[in-house]
Amino acid sequence: MRQWHVDPKLLCHKHLLGEHVEHHMFAGSILKGKSLTGYIDDGLVEVHTLIERHAELVREMRRRDYNHSSPLPPGLAEKLYTAGAVDELENLNELRRRCPLCRARIKRLALA
């Protein structure tokens, strides 16, 4: 699980929807009281940005005419805490390396 924390417009279909699903998984873990320490220590999540980042992903999903019907669970805001730091530039480079579809979107949209 991870937050890419790059501009959602740069994510391919798979990575956009994947990060969205992972936000729901993080939310579920937080509400169940499970530790996210490993994800935090590895720079994979910023707990305090889950709600805002989910909203960014949803806006992009709607811009692409995807159907979104999964709000984050109630009570999450009260359980969030400040922890974690995701390196957006490192993740952007990882997406370029890992995913040809993201690489193409990054190249195309970065020039626009």
What are the structure tokens assigned to 78, written together?
Answer: 């009260």
Residue 56: inside a domain: yes
The pLDDT-based confidence of 109 (bands split at 50, 70, 90) is confident
Residue 1: inside a domain: no
For the chain, the average pLDDT equals 95
Over range 27-39, report the average pLDDT: 96
Tell me, what's the pLDDT at 111? 61
Residue 63: inside a domain: yes
Q: What's the domain count of the chain? A: 1
* Distance from C-alpha of 105 to C-alpha of 15, rounded to nearest angstrom: 12
Residue 36: inside a domain: yes
| pLDDT at 101 exceeding the cut of 90 | yes
What are the structure tokens assigned to 105, written together?
Answer: 């979107």
Residue 50: inside a domain: yes
Most distant CA pair in the chain: distance in Å? 43
φ, ψ dihedrals at 61, nearest 5°: -60, -45
Element (H, E) at 87: none
Q: Which domain range does residue 82 map to? A: 8-110
Residue 2: inside a domain: no
Over range 92-97, report the average pLDDT: 95
* Distance from C-alpha of 108 to C-alpha of 67, rounded to nearest angstrom: 25
| pLDDT at 112 exceeding the cut of 70 | no
Specify the higher pLDDT residue, 110 or 72. Answer: 72
